[in-house]
Structure 1
Amino acid sequence: MVTLLLDSTQLEVVLSGAEKAMAFRKGNVVIERSTITKVQLTDDAWTWLRGVPSPGTHLRGVVAMGTWKSAGGEDFAIIRRRRPSVVIDLDGHPEFQRIILTTRHGLELVQALHLEAADEAVDVVEIAETGAIPTAAPKKPRARKAPAAAPAV
């Protein structure tokens, strides 16, 4: 499983040795925070996969790792089975237009991206646990009006 490290300027997707081998990649994926335009949580990352692996590993429904080329650009994917995932849309990144990752820490990533991160890279789970996570104020229940009496005839 990938480790997500976040600091004040970038998000780093730290890949294990096996993930690097299957993705045909020598290093980790580094994303400048300023290039992140949207982060979405999904239960089925396979629906977000577009194009063909080039280079990459693909076993339908089991694993998809590596760079995926399509008419829309290049995406980077680390997908395992049908597990919760996160889709990160990018604008201005030198390599990719989208990052698709299977991770159980997608919610923590979304929350951590809304916080001011430290200058040094920290795991997003730790940031989400220790930071003041912004939440929406609870809605007040609306008061119902009493039904009007019917006019006397």
Structure 2
Amino acid sequence: MALVRIDGDDLVVVLEGLDKLWAFKSSLTIPLANVRGATADPGIATDPKGIRAPGTHLPGVITAGTFHQDGDKIFWDVKDPSKALVVELANEQYIRLVLQVDDPRATVALIENALA
């Protein structure tokens, strides 16, 4: 699971527990200027993932790490699709972050309020 917070002008994502191992990352810091928006999207778990490199993908169990799709990089950290949050980015190494958070709607509100 990921913890998402706003720290000044940055969106900070901290991975918890073994997710650090599965995703090959412990945290991400994204300038808010590069965040285009966020949505709660439990259906994204059924979307094609692309090529995993590096990361972990056990269908129905966990999707974590960097996935390459159509020349773009997407970062995943999801075990429970009902708690999926999608953060759209611009001018970053990833075009999208797909994260599992405790409360997707509250996290969307947090991000959208920071962007306003």
Q: Which TM-score tier does this pair reach, normalised by the shorter chain? A: 0.7 to 0.9
Partner of 2:51: 52
Q: How many residues in Structure 1 have an aligned counterpart in Structure 2? A: 116
Taking a change above 3 Å as real, the CA distance of residues 109 and 45 of structure 1, as seen in their structure-2 partners, is same
1:1-153 matched pairs, under 5 angstroms: 1-25=1-25, 27-93=26-92, 95-115=93-113
Deviation, 1:109, is 1.8
- Counterpart contact for 1:45–1:102, Cα < 8 Å: no
Partner Cα distance (2:103, 2:89) in 1:
19
Question: How much is the aligned-residue C-alpha RMSD, in angstroms?
Answer: 2.1
Partner Cα distance (1:22, 1:66) in 2:
7
Which structure has more relative contact order (CA 8 Å, sep 6+)? It is: 2
Q: Deviations over 1:8-30 (max 9, x none)?
A: 311111012411111122x3111
- Counterpart contact for 2:5–2:13, Cα < 8 Å: yes
Deviation, 1:48, is 4.0
Taking a change above 3 Å as real, the CA distance of residues 79 and 106 of structure 1, as seen in their structure-2 partners, is same
- Counterpart contact for 1:85–1:104, Cα < 8 Å: no
Identity of matched residues, % = 25
Report which of the two has the higher share of strand. 2
TM-score by length of 2: 0.87
User: What are structure 2's unaligned runs of at least 5 residues?
Assistant: none
Taking a change above 3 Å as real, the CA distance of residues 50 and 6 of structure 1, as seen in their structure-2 partners, is same
Partner Cα distance (2:67, 2:30) in 1:
17
Computing the radius of gyration over CA atoms, which structure comes out larger, 1 or 2? 1
Deviation, 1:110, is 1.9
Deviation, 1:101, is 0.7
Task: Give the secondary-structure state (helix, strand or coil) at the position aligned to 1:57.
Answer: strand
